[in-house]
Amino acid sequence: MIIEYCDELYPKQLRKIEKPPSRLYAKGNLQILNQKGIAVVGSRTNTQYGEKMCKTFTKNLVEYDINIISGLAIGIDGIAHLTCIKNSGKTIAVLPSGLKNIYPESHIMLAKEIVDNGGLLLTEYEPETKADSKKFLERNRIVAGLGIGTLVIEAGYRSGTRVTAKYTQEQDKPVFCIPSNLDNMKGQTTNELIQKGAHLVTKTEDILKYYKDITFTKKKIKQKESYIDIPKELVDVYKVINDIPIDANEISKKTGLPVNDVNYKTLILQINDKIIELPGQRFVRRN
């Protein structure tokens, strides 16, 4: 769908930014365009710490009925979108390309899942437009513009995340940062932003208390099972592995696969950092 600046559906938050898009292309749930949301952004090459913090904060924001806004990029963006979906939340992905040229290609299935689960794909570019470096930066002003604030998970010194934080501050909205270990190169931007006045947060409630005029009500959420980030050939084994340790023989019985195949697939899942091997050659999912 095409949304013109003069349309009633045009996001109110975007009308306030410098150089708002004159036209938007959207696919999915248009109703969430004007609901409260927070941008969650960070490094494309995140650390395990960054992944853990992103999952924790995103899940908790969803519990308070806050939509998640991000840029569909690899790394923190993708983790935020996926965590939101898994926890029955609504997420908006702002693209640096047209709707017929989803970028990155590896997130085409994630884009579909976003729409299928009540979320929205949004872009200012015509459907066939391809992504480029200029459009990444332009996209970031919309990510910042749609939300009531921006949460920076982690980011290196030179990053698009720094640009998104800058746009947020220019729009007179709060930037929230999770502090990082001084040895973590991906924590340079977050620590520096805190030094320069961004809000240091260690729990979701640190974000919520900033908004004096908004009432947040915590709700119970039902987690959804998702295999978007699991290679298709490994899903059969991954499905039967959960938080309860299970060995290769049990996996073989539940899947009907030979033990040799199970051993191979569990090895690949470990390499992909999806499961952990415990003593006694038993496996659990990585949280």
Distance CA 208, CA 30 (A): 25
Distance CA 158, CA 190 (A): 12
For the stretch 87-102, pLDDT in tens is 999 999 999 999 999 9
Distance CA 244, CA 240 (A): 10
**Amino acid identity at 110:** L
What pTM does this model have? 0.81
Which residue numbers in the chain have pLDDT < 70? none
Structural domains of the chain, with CATH: 2-208 (3.40.50.450), 232-285 (1.10.10.10)
For the stretch 146-204, pLDDT in tens is 999 999 999 877 778 989 999 999 999 999 999 988 888 887 889 999 999 999 999 99
